[in-house]
Structure 1
Amino acid sequence: MNYQTELKDDILFVKLHGDLIASSDTQAMVEEVDGSGDGESLLCAVDLSDVRFMDSSGMGVLVSLLTKFRNRGGELVLIKPSDHIRKLLIVTKLNAIFTIAENDSFAAQFLKESIY
């Protein structure tokens, strides 16, 4: 898995590419995202549009990130998960805890409104 991070308007955007499975890359991404802005970032949008496959470890990564942001008073949204990933979220009922945005603009709007 590859990823890029960008801080834009106080929102940390994370773009994932490849398979979201247990690996050293996944752990590095979690640590980088959690430590962004000295661990003070409150808002995060994770773009899953280029994620082909996700296993239970990948789901755990998303839940872990969501928990980290919510524990510090913030929020996390998922952007445009592929059909396969969307089905996994539905089957595991994780769609009930994650907000899913269809694009960056909707994600940014939702995140900004979530903390006010």
Structure 2
Amino acid sequence: MLKAYVSYLDVSHSAIVSKKNLSLCYHLTLIQTQVNFEYHIESKEAYTLINLSGILIAPNQSGELIEEFEETIAEGTLNVIVDLSGIETMNSTGLSVLISILTKARNAGGEAVLANLPEKVNELMVITKLYTVFTVAESIEAAEELLNKEETWL
């Protein structure tokens, strides 16, 4: 499990009213919270399976994942299925990780398929129009079928 800390500012305000004017005071509070993100990489016969779970929102969470994935490509496994069923929350950092995996797979002559997208991730893919870039499957089995079809086209 990778543990990262995310910092963000919480902004609140209060009003101070006097006879002559109204002043707004802004209060900035730096909040630091721990986010848990886990991944598991498993080599299959024809592809690499990457299982992601937890909260993927911090840039420092994905370095090891990308390095390990690059190693599987170097070993000759070019196709990948990314199982997102365990993802609770993802933001642009998470999308960047997925894009990086996709780019590395395609540059090596392989393909990346996303599987088991949770509703929140699905909404993010629709809003960002990344469905036009990624191959998406409802399950790992469906993703395997898509990869098998892809191989017969080559």
Give the TM-score, by structure 2 length. 0.71
> Shift of residue 29 of structure 1?
0.6
SS in structure 1 at match of 2:62: helix
1:30 maps to 2:66: yes
Alignment of 1:1-116 (within 5 A): 1-36=37-72, 38-116=74-152
Q: Determine which structure has more spread, i.e. the larger CA radius of gyration.
A: 2
- Distance in 2, matches of 1:112 and 1:34, equals 22
Query: Identity rate of aligned residues, in percent?
Result: 35
RMSD: 1.3
Tell me which protein shows more helix as a share of its residues.
1
Point out where structure 2 has 5 or more consecutive residues left out of the alignment.
Answer: 1-36
Partner in structure 1 of residue 29 of structure 2? none
Q: Which of the pair has the greater relative contact order for Cα pairs under 8 Å at 6+ separation?
A: 1
TM-score, normalised to structure 1's length?
0.92
| Partner amino acid, structure 2, of 1:55 | N
* Larger fraction in strand: 2
Q: Is the 8 A contact 1:74 1:115 kept in 2?
A: no
* CA distance in 1 between partners of 2:75 and 2:101 (Å): 12
How many aligned residue pairs are there? 116
